[in-house]
Amino acid sequence: MSRRLRVALALALLVPSLAFAQEPKKTAATLEAAATAAYDGKRWVEAREAYGDLLRDFAKDLPKPKKDVITKRLGEIEAMLGTLHIVVNEADADVHVDGAPVGKTPLSKPITLTTGPHRVRVTKAGFVPFEQAPNVAARGAAHLNVTLEKDTRKSRISVKERANEPVRVLVDGVDMGPAPWSGEVDPGEHEIAVQSPSSKAAPEKVSLKAGESRDLVLSATSTTATIKVSVVDGKGLIRIDDKVVGEGVWSGTLPAGKHRLTVSREGFDPFEEEITLAEKDTVSRSITLNLPQTVKTGKIQEQADALDGLYGGVGLTGLAMPGGNGNDVQLSCEKNTPKSCQSSTPMGAGLSGFVGYHWDPVGLELFLLGLYDQTKPSATYDQNPLNLNSDPARTESFAIHRAGGTGALRARVTFQTKAIRFIGAAGVGLSYRGAFLKRDVSTPTGLKDTHVPDSITYTAPALTLDLGVGYRLGRPTTLYLTFSLLGESPRAFNQDTKVAPDPGRALGAEGKLPVAITTPAYQVASGAQIYTGLSLGIMFGP
């Protein structure tokens, strides 16, 4: 027999012997000793099991007196035990009785316990633990139905950046807002991260139990790169991702990733490059712009601005009436009726606006003007020596105020260069004005009177004219200054432009007898009303 065969045969005989040696053989003596020890120690469940095995396996070997003792003791033990049936609504839940595990649900059989209360605890992940202490009666069968409920409590987490960098908090990829941040999340595992356009922290996974709170501090590190771009001769417009960042040279930081770098300069071929920047990288680019291979010669013609389309504008106007407004005081002064006169040139101011459509070089527009003007003439009279009953010597001071608006349809002619615009506009329309008069009379003897008759209104045909020049602030915007003329005729429609007379007026003073004063119907405006002045405004379009 070979040596290898002898070794194999020895191992085949040795392995069963070793296995048999590891399992001690149960005998009547060992079972009786174990049962007696459990009985004496009042471990009734163990004693019942040991005595039961002894009668089952060795009844024929036991003398009758010993059998009687065992039977008697089993009767005593049965009076101290009962069973507990535990039924749980969830599978794979862990069941503990008096702190000792008894298995996972569903349990295969009832649990044998001593009489009295026993603490039962049932647990499962995601559910609220169940605890109760049912009472087990002697020789009785107690039942315990367990309903595990879902644990709906939220977990809470607080996140901040260690150096208080301006970052945003992401929970499971969802942006929750700026750090520091605190909020509720569902129990379980979550991925927490912080980031900004220039920094971020590696995501961190946390596992939270229901109702648990956790404070998390993350450290964000830079995710930007530094880049410097320079043109060799220091000239050229530098753009990063189509945004102008510098002229000739530029340096700064950019987020890591791909970016589009372009450099342009009139008369040179444009430069373009896509660059990829890594985090904390430092990149430098020196660029030389090349002349185009084909050079165009000849006269370069600029495209003229088209004077077509909608336009409009507003302006402030200052106007005067060099010839006066033809009121009665002015007319009497021109006839040298009073002893002396102090004339007053009517002055006014207005706000104008216009809107229209232009066909190069002519446009048609609607023009509106709101205008206010006033004049304050005065005259001094002597008493008629041939008629002592006439009005006394006196000074009469007048204030005539007018306000209203003018609307006209006008034609506009426009010519322009790259920077200057020449403007002419004229048209006809209607004016509507309201006027009122105030007369103050005083005598050398201290007699006085103030007369304010009711105001009047009238409508008059109007003619407007603007001639001027403008400076183009941009293609659609022009600042202009024009000489303006407005002409109107208040009596063209046979309207009465006189305020009402008052025959009962008298001069008076405290302690003196009143003296009658003639108060006729005064004409506030007559003849052609010619306003001239300057307008300053802004025009939009065409």
Residue 95 forms part of a structural domain: yes
Assess whether 127 and 210 both reside in one domain.
Answer: no
In-domain check, residue 297: no
Q: Is residue 379 part of a domain?
A: yes
Say how many CA atoms lie within 13 Å of 445 toward its Cβ. 13
- Tens digits of residue pLDDT in 257-273: 788 889 898 888 898 88
Helix (H), strand (E) at residue 220: none
Instruction: With CA atoms as reference, report the closest residue to 120 among 107, 108, 102, 138.
Output: 102
**Separation in Å, CA 72 to CA 134, 268, 336, 405:** 29, 117, 160, 130
Q: Which of 63, 78, 93 is the last residue of a domain?
A: 78
What gap in Å lies between CA 492 and CA 461, rounded to an integer?
7
Does 265 share its domain with 140? no
Q: Does residue 11 fall inside a structural domain?
A: no
User: Which residue reads 């996140």 in tokens?
Assistant: 159
Taking a C-beta distance cutoff of 8 angstroms, is the pair 451, 394 a contact?
A: no
Mean residue pLDDT of the chain comes to: 85
The CATH code of the domain that includes 132 is 2.60.40.10
| Tens-place pLDDT, residues 297-307 | 544 444 456 78
Model confidence at 10: pLDDT above 50: no
Please state the domain count of the chain: 5
Quick check: is 6 in a domain? no
Nearest to 529 by CA among 438, 400, 437: 400
Q: Is residue 298 part of a domain?
A: no
Q: Give strand ranges (E) for 47-187.
A: 81-88, 94-97, 100-104, 111-114, 116-117, 120-123, 130-132, 135-136, 141-146, 155-161, 168-171, 174-178, 181-185
Residues 123 and 195 in one domain: no
Task: Specify the pLDDT at position 22.
Answer: 46
- Nearest CA-CA partner of 187 in 159, 214, 217, 207: 207
Same structural domain for residues 175 and 273? no
Cα–Cα distance measured from residue 223 to residue 278, given in angstroms and rounded to the nearest whole number: 8
Average pLDDT over residues 205-219: 87
What is the pLDDT at residue 387?
63
pLDDT tens profile 179-205: 899 988 888 889 999 888 878 888 889
Residue 161 predicted with pLDDT over 80: yes
Q: What is the CATH number of the domain that holds 186?
A: 2.60.40.1120
Supply the range of the domain harboring residue 52: 22-78
Query: pTM, whole model, 2 decimals?
Result: 0.45
Q: Rounded distance, CA 428 to CA 433, Å?
A: 16
Q: At what angle do helices 44-58 and 28-40 cross, to 10 degrees?
A: 160
CB contact at 8 A, 422 and 481: no
Most confident of 19-33, 227-241, 480-494: 480-494
**Distance of alpha carbon 181 from the chain centroid:** 21
- Tell me the sheet residues that pair with 437: 400
The predicted model gives 315-344 an average pLDDT of 86
* Residue 46 and residue 93 share a domain: no
Q: Are residues 362 and 447 in the same domain?
A: yes
Of the candidate ranges 1-5, 23-27, 39-43, 129-133, the one whose mean pLDDT is the lowest: 1-5
Q: Are residues 324 and 435 in the same domain?
A: yes
Q: In this structure, which amino acid lies at residue 325?
A: N
Of the three residues 222, 250, 272, the one that is the final residue of a domain is 222
**Is the domain of 314 the same as that of 245?**
no
229 and 356 in one domain?
Answer: no
Does residue 8 belong to any structural domain of this protein?
Answer: no
d(CA 233, CA 288): 8
Q: Which amino acid is at 345?
A: T
Query: Does residue 298 sit in helix, strand or coil?
Result: coil
Same domain, yes or no: 435 and 361: yes
- Give yes or no: residues 194 and 47 share one domain: no
Count the Cβ atoms, other than its own, within 10 Å of residue 219: 12
User: 542: cis peptide before it, omega within 30°?
Assistant: yes
Q: Are residues 433 and 325 in the same domain?
A: yes
- Has residue 13 been placed in a domain? no
Among 146, 165, 198, residue at a domain's last position: 146
pLDDT of residue 484: 94
Q: What is the DSSP letter of 265?
A: -
